[in-house]
Structure 1
Amino acid sequence: MSTRSSASGLLRRAARGVLGLPLVLLVLVAGLTASSEPARAALPTDGTPAPTTSSFVQRDGSRLTLDGRTFRFSGTNVYWLGLDDNVRDAQGSPAVPSRFRVDDAFRAAQAAGGTVVRTWGGLVGCDRCIEPRLGVFQDSAFDSIDYAVASAARHGQRMVITLVDNWDYYHGSKRTFTSWRGLPESSFFSDARVIEDYREYITHFVQHVNPYTGLAYRDDPTIMAWETGNEMWCQTCSGNYWDGSWTKAVADHIAAVAPKQLVVDGHGTDPACRRACLHEPSLDIASVDIVDDHFYPMQLDRVRSSAQTATRHGKAYLVGEYDWNGHRGGDGLQPFLDAVRDSGAAGALTWSVVPHADTAGFVDHDDGFQYFFPGRTADERARTSSLQKFAVSLGGAAPVDRLPPAPCALIVGPTAGGNGLRWRGAAPAARYAVQRRPASGSSGWTTLTTWARDQVVPGSAALWIDSTAVAGRGYAYRVAGVTLAGRTGTWSSAVTKGSTSPCAA
């Protein structure tokens, strides 16, 4: 889904197979040049071990493989890794996401059992885009995606990068390419000049060298696949008859310029369809490895039918987005996950992870399908458990109960109900413990709660209120994340009124 729309070689792979109250205080917030061996940029680490394999995911008929074994996965979408419309700058424009938010999203994806993340790589037609104007590329705009690819590797995630959007949003779309040529939007699929413009963008993108890894994108096994586009279904394209020629032109080009990685056909299915929905001629294109399908709402009959169709044509089937929380109704999550597993589909990706904010709580995002790990309600937390079990049922390892980073930016201030606290949390914390001691002491910590939770908090609102604080007394506080398994992570620095704990750069 787009955030917002209908929901949203080496050897050429064998057979191409290969609630808050205001605080009365001030909140303190805290071009690569070509060479034979590119220098690597400094890459901070949160202590998460990097994966041990450097192998590429390949396709063998309708299944994906990794190191010779079937590769199936659960995962999620994190569309904003290159440019984030949820956090705006002083001028109101979408901002480049902080490294903290990027890492936080991958930690959440990992904790939910995921091993694949899908994101937008089509950044065109805006000042902070990779191609702000036709034929003009600014490689500085790659930096956030560069960092995200390196972070994905550290968190054991593979990536699917979608190269253009059907829907015209802040990061550009197919309409951007046609507007550069003064043509109607439907020309994106047929005009030779526009198709070549798009292919040039693809070439520039996949050949980009990531300074954090020293690898060109096309040589990086963290990038599992490139997708021809997001939700390019013809039913919503006025005046366009879909014959598969555009998919072939784009898929063949991706296969030629990035031969080690897989190609995903992003044509997919209009959600209004229920059976015989995939465009079968597109499934016979040799350069296509995977077909992507989206579900708003979840539908058992369509996932079964479409997976069978893809298998019949020898292609892997991907549920690239689905309504994991039942916002659009439809079938239940557990039956849907069971159907995906039993259909032989390669995997399924929720829409979509929202990270912690740089200040406190979660980033504010509400399209109806947002996923705040591990969930803000009992129902959402039960769904997280289902997702984790689903990942294991596909052959994955059980998620490791990793300790969350220490909370930071802890601030204490008076509220009508006591002392209000806010802090920057971090995945994979499921909740938080809060302790208090006299401000003048250095010991004697008392646990006030182990059940404080993250939420979306406006302005300088409190995440949690100490209603037992006695007026006039000075206190120090500290906070630590608690995992789903109940393990307590590192404590934050101790903070009294008027001070704040620092966050690492």
Structure 2
Amino acid sequence: MKFSASLAFTLAAAAAAVAAADDVDLRDLPVTREGTHLYLNGTEWKAVGPNVYWLALDENVVPRGRAVLRAQEHQLPPPGPRHRGHAHRQGHGRYHDSRPHHRLQHRLSLSLMPEAGVINEDAWGPIDWAIYQARQHGIRLMVPLVDNYDYYHGGKFDFLRWAGHNLTQAKDATNPAIMAFYEDPDIVASFKSFVTDLLTHRNPLTNLTLAEDPTIFAIESGNELLGPKWGDMNCPAAWVRDVARHVKALAPAKLFVDGTYGVNATHFDVDEVDIFSDHFYPVDVAKLKSDIAKLEDAGRPSSSASTPGPRPPIPLFGRNMPDCNDWVEHEDGFTIKYGDPTNSEAVDARIRLIRKHFTKMSRGEDIEEDEELPVIPCPLEEDAE
């Protein structure tokens, strides 16, 4: 799983049961850690689910009644029927933006923090709705705080630019000056202030702050954080510790995830880190096993995201509610859509493989890989309201 962005509040979902045990609603209980295992109400719990980086700020969907301008304009998804019944089922995607910087700034204006220290109150609507719907369906969310990249929803380059560093990913990805994000005290203070704004926000639909709501089971330091050299894992341990302590002070019941791109063993001494993450594109089984062995020795669990086979990640998008016959398009050439009657057999075979793995990981059940995909009916309009 992974989550990208600080300024758009994007979410990654992990499945959890809604059922109550001993008259206790599991949705009110936090996920806890003991050594290398996670627990919910005393029962071992595994986070299995998709990346939904666009859940609160979608570059693929425009508000109802507007012309579809996916190639030119990105808008906030409206809270309500559009996300009912499909938002929590979406899968892995990543959006690479090569358009001019002024367009990045236009889209940033729709995010949670469009300017340094300025919160866009209108942006809370989709965020609050997404968290509320996740809670209703018993879904847990892992929320990274910032993106390593210069994407449409904002990330570390915005904090750098706000501090006077004229840097963009397109021209400065290997510039050592980007380390100021981790090392400049003023930037670190600005980032921690944003984290405070995020976690102390009270959701009017749940009457809980984000820090209080067990729906958010984990806070990740960021998405694929690194330094100026690809794969360098140069996210300083001192920064990880500082941010982790800040999060724990605000939300002591939350698990903290080290979002460095790769398992950096020098971070094992950061006691506040509960989970380490890594991403594999494509799958690297040897590296995965090596990372797991290191983490077992360190007494920590791991979170990983990958895509099967030697190909880019596959964005899995669903129906564009309320029109159940309309599908959200990601337009990157790798999108797959569950239940789309126009799918090829190869696409449906890949979906069946993903479903088989998800079922085994989340429920411990084995299903046949060639088992027919269940039909997901369109929700009735009254159910979507």
Q: Same fold (TM over 0.5)?
A: yes
- Contiguous gaps of at least 5 residues in structure 1: 5-48, 270-277, 329-349, 400-482, 493-500
Rounded to whole Å, the distance in 1 between the matches of 2:272 and 2:112 is: 26
Give the alignment of 1:6-405 within 5 angstroms: 51-52=19-20, 53=26, 54-88=28-62, 92-98=72-78, 99-106=80-87, 108=89, 126-183=108-165, 184-234=177-227, 236=229, 241-269=234-262, 278-319=263-304, 321-324=305-308, 326-328=310-312, 352-358=315-321, 359=323, 360-367=325-332, 369-374=334-339, 376-394=343-361, 396=363
How many residues align structurally? 331
Rounded to whole Å, the distance in 2 between the matches of 1:323 and 1:58 is: 28
AA in 2 matched with 1:55: L
**Alpha-carbon spacing, 1:67–1:136, altered in 2? closer, same or farther (3 Å):** same
**Alpha-carbon spacing, 1:253–1:128, altered in 2? closer, same or farther (3 Å):** same
Are 2:258 and 2:277, in contact at CA under 8 Å, matched by a contact in 1? Answer: yes
**Alpha-carbon spacing, 1:311–1:239, altered in 2? closer, same or farther (3 Å):** closer
Are 2:140 and 2:216, in contact at CA under 8 Å, matched by a contact in 1? Answer: yes
Rounded to whole Å, the distance in 1 between the matches of 2:326 and 2:151 is: 26
SS at match of 1:74: coil
1:85 shift after superposition:
0.8
AA in 1 matched with 2:307: D
1:194-242 Cα shifts (integer Å, max 9, x gaps): 0110011011101111111111111111111111011102364799954
Q: Specify which structure has the higher proportion of strand.
A: 1
1:490 shift after superposition:
7.4
AA in 1 matched with 2:74: P
- Contiguous gaps of at least 5 residues in structure 2: 5-16, 21-25, 96-103, 166-176, 367-371
Identity %: 28
AA in 1 matched with 2:353: S
Q: Which has the larger radius of gyration?
A: 1
1:428-455 Cα shifts (integer Å, max 9, x gaps): xxxxxxxxxxxxxxxxxxxxxxxxxxxx
TM-score, normalisation: structure 1: 0.58
Q: Specify which structure has the higher proportion of helix.
A: 2
SS at match of 2:141: strand
**Alpha-carbon spacing, 1:283–1:181, altered in 2? closer, same or farther (3 Å):** same
TM-score, normalisation: structure 2: 0.75
Are 2:147 and 2:155, in contact at CA under 8 Å, matched by a contact in 1? Answer: yes
Question: Where does residue 100 of structure 2 map in the other structure?
Answer: none
- CA RMSD between the two structures: 3.6
Are 1:248 and 1:287, in contact at CA under 8 Å, matched by a contact in 2? Answer: yes
AA in 2 matched with 1:105: H
1:491 shift after superposition:
9.9
1:168 shift after superposition:
0.3
AA in 1 matched with 2:193: E
SS at match of 1:268: coil
